[in-house]
Amino acid sequence: MSPHREDEEPRPPAGFLGRTVRQRLMVIITLILGLTLLLTGVLTFAVQYATVSERVDRDLDQEIEELTQLAQSGPERDGRAYDNAGELFYDFISIAVAGEDEAFLGMLEGAQPVYSGGTGRSFDPTDPEILEAVSALDIGPGRAQTWTMRTQGTTLRLLVADVQLPGEDRQAQFVVLNDLGSQRAMVNRQVLTYTGVSILMLLAGGAVAHVALGRLLRPLQALRDATAQIHPEDLSMRVDVNTAENTDVAELAIRFNQMLDRIEDGVRQQRQFLDDAAHELRTPLTILRGNTELLQPDDPEDVATTRVLLLDELDRMQRLVDDLLILARAQRPDFIRRSPTELAELAVECMDRMTTLGERQWRLTADAEGEVLVDRQRLIQALLQLAANAVKFSEPGSIVELGTALVPGDDPRVPDAVAAGAAEAPEYITLSVTDQGRGIPESQLERVFDRFGRGDNSVNVEGSGLGLAIVKAIVEAHGGSVVVESTEGIGSRFTLWLPTDPPEEPQHSDVAE
């Protein structure tokens, strides 16, 4: 067995299952159309054959009934019945009009047969084979018998009736013959015509289906070509889709492009994340190495000083790694664990912890009450992070306020929250932290939530630059968004918008993908 090369394009197995989707659908459509035409033809012509046989028997019976009525009315039409079978046969044949495939034959003992028939008939009613077969019948006085016989290259349906007249002593038989074979041949010609038309319809339908399937499955072909060209180093390939086509296949291609957008964005952010993490870790590692190399082992004071510095750098690295782990977990389904939480109690608990962060005028405006379904621990973590930032960027004694509120879905501020990523909902919980600190330059508002993102006025402030990224990940996992309002020199307000009706699946922040 030869080894499989990864760069080889996999070949489909032979046979029907190995064909393309277009070919499979073509075969299925053709089979369904063919079976439909076949079933329609079988049922239609089976009914026609049965109808022909019933019509022939009905015509035979009708002619005998007319003969009986004529025999009873008499030659003068005065109700005095015929007493001469030859005269009855002659009069009936004279006035009765035989159909195109029909013939009448009157047979009287000791006399030549009297007959009449349609001009288009293909058989001779006085053929010896017919006369012999009729004479050989023993049907009983006044009775009739119907049967089918093959003669003269066709199939005849015959009805032989024994005629009994008052005063007539001779044996008399009246025969009605109908060319069943020619009428069936007409149906057979219709079958051939139907078969030819069905084949043409099948070919035409197959051609139309081939073209239609080609257009319908074009995005699928483009999708296959795109997947063959996509490489981890280049995820820019996209499938060309006509947005006007409202089909499942086109929708699949659109969703595929959207998936590639997310993957490309995720890969880009992961690469950026690794670059940023490497950059952030390089500094403490350089400090650790440099101070270790310069350490004087025989100088106790230098050892003690270096030890304090190294431990401080290790603590900073530990915080950085912990923050990175939180962001890594943000993409997992169990990142948040919702449980019924009382809003008022949540606000009080947060305020109790915030007051230990620094000497500020801490204020609580808890306007929201009631029980909500959130991850209490994660929300406390997010609010404490915002409070810690407020302490970092504000002066001692300044006001830092924690506010909670319930906001209806038609509030004019909701569109901004939705634009920031919050799911649409009839009602929202808002949790805000407001400070009187330095504020954030307007040009920096877009990047404060990026990993390792820092404003220009926070260069000398301690921190990893991951705090607000963690806040965003927690809020978006709840299906909400975080909105920042800030003015330099006046302060900032960070507001968490959480829908009271949480989405079925947790939403994850882009920073965690």
Which token pair is 386? Answer: 């915002």
Euclidean distance between CA atoms 278 and 411, whole angstroms? 43
Which pLDDT tens digit goes with each residue over 278-297? 766 776 788 788 888 888 88
Mean pLDDT of the chain: 83
Three-state DSSP state, 363: strand
pLDDT score recorded for residue 502: 67
Instruction: Record the pTM.
Output: 0.52
Question: Residue 25 carries which side chain, given as an amino acid letter?
Answer: L
Confidence of residue 453 (pLDDT cuts 50, 70, 90): low
Over range 328-337, report the average pLDDT. 76
pLDDT score recorded for residue 40: 92
In this structure, are residues 107 and 128 in contact, taking their beta carbons and an 8 Å threshold? no
pLDDT score recorded for residue 510: 42
Euclidean distance between CA atoms 124 and 130, whole angstroms? 9
Over range 286-309, report the average pLDDT. 83
Euclidean distance between CA atoms 250 and 253, whole angstroms? 5
Over range 213-219, report the average pLDDT. 79
Which token pair is 170? Answer: 């001779």
Q: Is the per-residue pLDDT at 66 higher than 70? A: yes
Number of Cβ atoms within 10 Å of the Cβ of 182 = 17
Q: Is the per-residue pLDDT at 14 higher than 60? A: no
Euclidean distance between CA atoms 219 and 21, whole angstroms? 12
74 or 223, higher pLDDT: 74
Half-sphere exposure of 153 (CA within 13 A, CB side): 5
Which token pair is 222? Answer: 């483009």
Q: Is the per-residue pLDDT at 405 higher than 80? A: yes
Question: Residue 64 carries which side chain, given as an amino acid letter?
Answer: I
Which pLDDT tens digit goes with each residue over 89-121? 888 888 888 888 889 888 888 678 887 776 677
Euclidean distance between CA atoms 172 and 418, whole angstroms? 103
pLDDT score recorded for residue 390: 92
pLDDT score recorded for residue 1: 42
- Look up residue 122 and give its DSSP letter: S
What's the 3-state SS for 467-505? Answer: HHHHHHHHHHHCCCEEEEEEECCCEEEEEEEEECCCCCC
Euclidean distance between CA atoms 332 and 339, whole angstroms? 18
Q: Is the per-residue pLDDT at 513 higher than 50? A: no
Q: Is the per-residue pLDDT at 253 higher than 80? A: no
Instruction: Compute the 3-state secondary structure of the chain and give helix, strand, coil in percent, each to the nearest 5.
Output: 50, 15, 30
Over range 14-32, report the average pLDDT. 75
Over range 336-357, report the average pLDDT. 91
Which pLDDT tens digit goes with each residue over 362-381? 999 988 888 989 999 999 99
Which letter, b or e, does each residue of 100-120 get, where b requires 16 or more Cβ atoms within 10 Å of its Cβ?
A: ebbbbbbbbeeeebbbbbbee
Over range 341-361, report the average pLDDT. 91
Euclidean distance between CA atoms 369 and 122, whole angstroms? 102
Contacts of 498 (CB under 8 A, 6+ apart): 372, 374, 422, 428, 429, 430, 431, 475, 478, 479, 480
- Determine what percent of the chain is predicted with pLDDT higher than 90: 29
Residue 483 main-chain phi, psi, to 5 deg: -120, 135
pLDDT score recorded for residue 408: 93
